[in-house]
Every structure is written in structure tokens, then in C-alpha cells.
Amino acid sequence: MCDLKVGDTVVFVDAPDGLLKDLPSDEQNEILSFVGKPATITSVDEFGYVWIGFGSQVDDGDESHYSGHSFAVTADCLRQATR
């Protein structure tokens, strides 16, 4: 079972082949560019996959838009961020 929980800050340390498989090369390169960067866990699903996201929130008056990537990986692809 995963010791990580929603709200934890982690570092994305490995992009597994299954995540990259069948993606166009530009999307593979974009995901690989996130390796080594911190992310906040947004959820842990019923299968134990940890969901993280890389992007930004833009507030525009009464509306808010998120732009970026969100995906699930296994806990071994992450490490707890040091403070």
C-alpha cells in the first residue's frame, strides 16, 4: 500500500514506459521534462495509483482555468520532497 497521501509534495523521479507508450514524441518529451520536479498529490485512486499534475491555474474574474498535464503513476515513480 502507498504511504503517500493527498496534499503531499513529491518529486517525480521516473516516467514509466507504460505512461509514455503510444504517446506522440512531443508529449513523451513534455512528460519527461517533469522528471525531477515537485508536484502535489491530487488523489490516490482505488488501484493505488498516485495522481499528480503539472500546470497552472489562471483566474480571470469569475472564471478559473487550469492548463497542464495530470497523470497517475505508481508510488515508486515518486519520492517525498524534502523541506
- Digit-coded pLDDT (tens) for 13-68: 999 999 999 999 999 999 999 999 999 998 999 999 999 988 877 888 888 777 88
Alpha carbon distance 48, 39 (integer Å)? 17
Q: Which residues, including other chains, have CB under 8 Å from residue 30's CB and lie 6 or more apart?
A: 69
pTM reported for the whole predicted model:
0.81
Contact in structure between 77 and 52 (CB atoms under 8 Å): no
Give the closest residue to 69 by CA, choosing from 54, 56, 57, 52: 54
Higher-confidence residue: 2 or 23? Answer: 23
Q: How confident is the model at residue 1 (pLDDT cuts 50, 70, 90)?
A: very low
Alpha carbon distance 12, 28 (integer Å)? 15
